[in-house]
């Protein structure tokens, strides 16, 4: 419970003297629920995709990102941002996906310093085939247990937290 207030002594009677804004009981319970979800959700999504389609969740995100891009093509650096992956990891995954003929890579003709990734017809087939199972688990784990009002709240919460993360220089 790193977010709760630790004490220096084992009997917890000696509080720490600092300016830290410790989480109160309600905030701590919320934080523990969020961290539990953040740890479990990717593992469950990955397991379903591996079992049903032989894909990792990261590979699925690469395919999905490219499928949404104009001409199904995106700079690798932009794709790395989309997938929240480091460029070296994305390059390794893209090399494996290229061998499977799911995508191709080539220099960006407008700026040779960049590499473009393009989704192939085979890659699109893999995405289309894997999407129903992925959507089903997302729906079951996230949306089926929420009301429409809660879905809107979750979206707003996601946007607010995302905005805080994108403006935090330490994030």
Using an 8 Å Cβ cutoff, are 82 and 68 in contact? Answer: no
pLDDT of residue 158: 93
What pTM, to 2 d.p., does this model score? 0.82
Question: CA dihedral in degrees (88, 92, 95, 99; nearest 10)?
Answer: -170
The pair phi, psi for residue 7, each rounded to 5°, is: -120, 160
Model pLDDT, residue 20 = 92
CATH number of 53-154: 1.10.10.10
- Residue-wise pLDDT tens for the chain (171 aa)? 456 666 554 555 555 567 899 999 999 999 999 999 999 999 999 999 999 999 999 999 999 999 999 999 999 999 999 998 899 999 999 999 999 999 999 999 999 899 999 999 999 999 999 999 999 999 999 999 999 999 999 999 999 998 998 887 775
Strands 73-75 and 115-119 come out as: antiparallel
- Residue 166 pLDDT: 84
Q: What pLDDT, on a 0 to 100 scale, did the predictor assign at position 18? A: 77
């Amino acid at each position: 419970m790193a977010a709760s207030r630790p004490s220096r002594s084992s009997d917890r009677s000696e509080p720490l003297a600092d300016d830290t804004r410790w989480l109160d009981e309600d905030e701590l319970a919320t934080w523990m629920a969020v961290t539990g979800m953040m740890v479990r959700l990717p593992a469950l999504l990955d397991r379903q995709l591996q079992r049903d389609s032989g894909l990792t969740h990261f590979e699925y995100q690469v395919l999905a990102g490219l499928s949404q891009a104009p001409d199904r093509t995106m700079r690798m650096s932009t794709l790395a941002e989309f997938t929240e992956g480091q460029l070296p990891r994305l390059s390794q995954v893209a090399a494996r996906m290229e061998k499977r003929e799911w995508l191709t890579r080539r220099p960006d003709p407008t700026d040779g310093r960049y590499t473009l990734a393009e989704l192939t017809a085979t890659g699109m087939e893999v995405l289309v085939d894997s999407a129903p199972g992925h959507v089903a688990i997302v729906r079951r784990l996230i949306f089926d247990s929420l009301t429409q009002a809660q879905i809107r709240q979750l979206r707003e919460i996601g946007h607010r937290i995302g905005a805080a993360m994108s403006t935090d220089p330490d994030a």
